Amino acid sequence: MLDRRRLLLGIGAAALAGPGLLPRLAAGAGKPALTTGLPEGVYDTADLEALPGKRPLIKLSYRPPNYETPVSYFDSVFTPNDAFFVRYHLADIPETLDAAAWKIKFGGEGATAPVELGLAELKSGFERVEIAAVCQCSGNRRGLSEPHVPGIQWGLGAMGNARWRGVRLKDVLAKVGLRKEAVEIVVKGADSPVLDKTPDFVKSIPVWKALDENTLIAWEMNGEPLPHFNGFPVRLVVPGWTATYWMKHLATVEAVTKPFDGFWVKSAYRIPIGRFPVTQHFLTQMNEASEPITEMVVNSVVTAPAAGHKAKAGRPLEIRGLAWDGGYGIRHVEVSLDEGKSWREADLGQDYGRFAFRPWNFRFTPMKPGVVTVMAKASNGIGQTQAEALIFNPAGYHNNVIRPLAVTVV
């Protein structure tokens, strides 16, 4: 485990010492092109700015850093590492980390043989696997809730798709040994709160999810080491589930025999019971009113043309986009050109796996000047379809409402 006194060299210390100590490579790069429907203040305060190792992203907060990927960067199925969104809850983040010296402690009262493993031991001691998966903040599109709700006012880009490479968590837990009484796996990263009264960001997942063959301890992203602000040197990857469980800078993994009672599971990242069409439930953390958020709901985004695009009457126009869900696979995407009165099937692109973005495209020829309202609707392999109306909840989670895009034909 990292010595927290050494972490004072990191971002949290910079935040306390004053502005300017954390390098901002593209401060003042300009105002971003934001989607419509966000709170008015976001348009005044959001800037395009680059963290170290990143191209300019939409800065929504600086301490802790929360940076959104502009929709224009989703021009490929796999989101470039330097364009991948950044999400932190706590401001005390280590500025530099030594991968060669990194150790993860595995143990807890639910383990039979606690062990400490470094990155080299993970790479040499277990089968290496790779999986394509979407990492999406639970609050993606929160800023589009109506009425607006508190929290980071994300637009469309608190997500990304990557090839993650590492080892299966279940293989490492087999070495650690789980007692039959173990019910959850508790994980903690290297970031920590600046103030003692702030709850440390610690999460748990049910044992059955930890033992899923797709849940990984990953050190590589799109063929390269994890970027610093995406969890270097190792992070948890939980395909199909929202990013709150994808612990960055993974430092401890503990098996516990009683439900974890930490703030970020017991009180935060919860949704009302029975409101959303999810099939995977975190049973040991459910109560009569709410349950932890788990799998992502089916969703899609139009990536091209951009908002405000002017098309030529009589010339073909291609609509492109991405669709994804919690791992059941995208079955089809439909497009409407008449504000949802009728729908036509789009062409699906290559399938990179059930947890990945699925590209789609739709071609049509607008014949006369005017405004065409483009809408896209994705459905998955178990019959779930994007929502036509917002399923409101106080935290702004699971916003998958079909969104219109106006194209002006001249």
Over residues 88-143, the pLDDT tens digits come to 999 999 989 999 999 999 999 999 999 999 999 999 999 999 999 999 999 999 99
Spatial distance between the Cα atoms of 252 and 402, rounded to a whole number of angstroms: 39
- pTM equals 0.92
pLDDT value at residue 226: 98
Q: Give me the residues paired with residue 302 across strands.
A: 321
Give the 3-state secondary structure of residue 392: coil
Confidence band of 4 (pLDDT split at 50, 70, 90): very low
User: What pLDDT does residue 128 have?
Assistant: 98
* Burial call 133-154: b when 16+ CB within 10 Å, e when fewer: bbbbbbbbbbbbbeebbebbbb
pLDDT at 7 over 50: no
* Sheet bearing 115-118, strands edge to edge: 115-118, 103-107, 250-256, 184-189, 202-206
Residue with tokens 């709850």: 199
Greater pLDDT, 369 or 26: 369
The CATH code that applies to domain 299-409 is: 2.60.40.650
* Domain covering 99-292: architecture: Alpha-Beta Complex (3.90)
Predicted local distance difference test score (pLDDT) of residue 30: 81
C-alpha closest to that of 111 among 256, 209, 213: 256
pLDDT digits (tens, 9 = 90+) for 268-303: 999 999 999 999 999 999 999 999 999 999 999 999
**Per-residue confidence band for 64, with pLDDT thresholds at 50, 70 and 90:** very high
pLDDT of residue 24: 44
In the chain, where the domains are located: 99-292, 299-409
| Average pLDDT of every residue of the chain | 93
Q: Is the pLDDT of residue 83 over 90?
A: yes
Higher-pLDDT residue of 27 and 144 is 144
Q: Is the pLDDT of residue 265 over 70?
A: yes
Q: What is d(CA 284, CA 292) in angstroms, rounded to the nearest whole number?
A: 10
